[in-house]
Copies of this chain bind each other. A is one copy, B any other.
Amino acid sequence: TIYGITPTYARLAQKADLTRLSQTLMLVKNFHWIVIEDSSTKTKLVENLLKESMLKYTHLNVKTHKLKHSTASGVEQRNVALNWLREHLMKIHDTKGVVYFMDDDNTYSLKVFDEMRKIKKVGVWPVGIVGGMRVEMPLVTDGKVSGFNAVWKPFRPFPIDMAGFAINATLFIDHPEAKFSRKVQSGYQESEILKYVVTKEELEPLAENCTKVYVWHTRTQTPSILNPKKLKHPPLPDGHIEV
C-alpha cells in the first residue's frame, strides 16, 4: 500500500486542486489517501469530495498554530497523519507499505507511484520546477546518491523537496519518535524527517538513476476576485454555490 499524506487548507482553488489530484489517484492501485485539513473542524467540501472519489481514504483535521519563527506549512497535519498511520499499521498487523508526503497542488505522474513500490528504506528522485531550478535532483554515482543538484540552501543535510522521496512505512514503527518539527529553519522539514530514518549513503536513487522527472512542484495561481460590493453592476450573490 502507498500511503499518501496530504495536508490541505481552505482557499478558492482548493476544490479544483483536490479534484484533479484525486482523479490521478483513482488510477493508482493499492493507494490509501490520508487527507488532513488545516482546520479546527472537518469541512463538508473535503468530506464530500473524498466520499465521492471512490478512493480508500482517511479524513483527519488539525489547525496549524504557527509560531513567529516557523512559517512552514503542513507540520502539524503530517504529524497527525503519521500518528494515525502508526496505530493503523499496528492494528492491521501489516507494516508493509510506503509513505509519500503529497502536497495538494503538486503534479504527480502515475510513474512516480510505480517507482516507489521498489523502495527498501527510502527512495529519492528528481522534482521539476522547484527551488529556483528547472529540476532539483540527487546526483548518482555508481548507483548511489553522491550529492544533490540544488541551489536553494544546498548545505541542508538533505537538500530535497517533500515530493522527491518516499519512506518505507515500517520505518515509522521502528522510529516512533520520527516527526516534523516547528523548531527547524525554513526548508529543513525534509531533512528533519529523513534524519530519523535514513543516512545519505542509504538513499535509493529511483526514476532511472534520478534522470527522469515524474513529479512537479506546480503551484496554482491565486485567483483575483473582484469585490461585488465595489462593482457598479454587482452580480447576483453566488455564496450558496460550492466552488
Contacts and interface: CB of A to CB of B under 8 A. Distances in A.
A184 interface: no
Interface stretch (A80-88, A146-154, A190-198): A146-154
B134 A12 contact: yes
B16 A151 contact: no
A218 B151 contact: no
Contacts of A108: 20
B233 A154 contact: yes
Interface string A103-141: 000011110000000000000001011101111010100
Q: Tell me what chain A mostly uses at the interface: helix, strand, loop, or mixed.
A: loop
Given A107-B20, A220-B218, A235 B129 contact: no
A243 to B, nearest CB: 4
A150 to B, nearest CB: 7
Interface in A198-227: 211-213, 216-221, 223-226
Contacts of A238: 133-135, 137, 149
Contacts of A234: 151
Given A20-B24, A225-B133, A151 B241 contact: no
A135 B216 contact: no
Contacts of A211: 241
Given A149-B238, A150-B235, A132 B23 contact: no
A58 interface: no
Given A139-B236, A149-B235, A243-B213, A16 B225 contact: no
**Interface centre among A16, A17, A126, by most B CB within 10 Å?**
A16
A173 interface: no
Top 7 nearest A-B pairs (CB, nearest first) are A16-B216, A132-B226, A16-B107, A219-B221, A129-B223, A128-B243, A23-B24
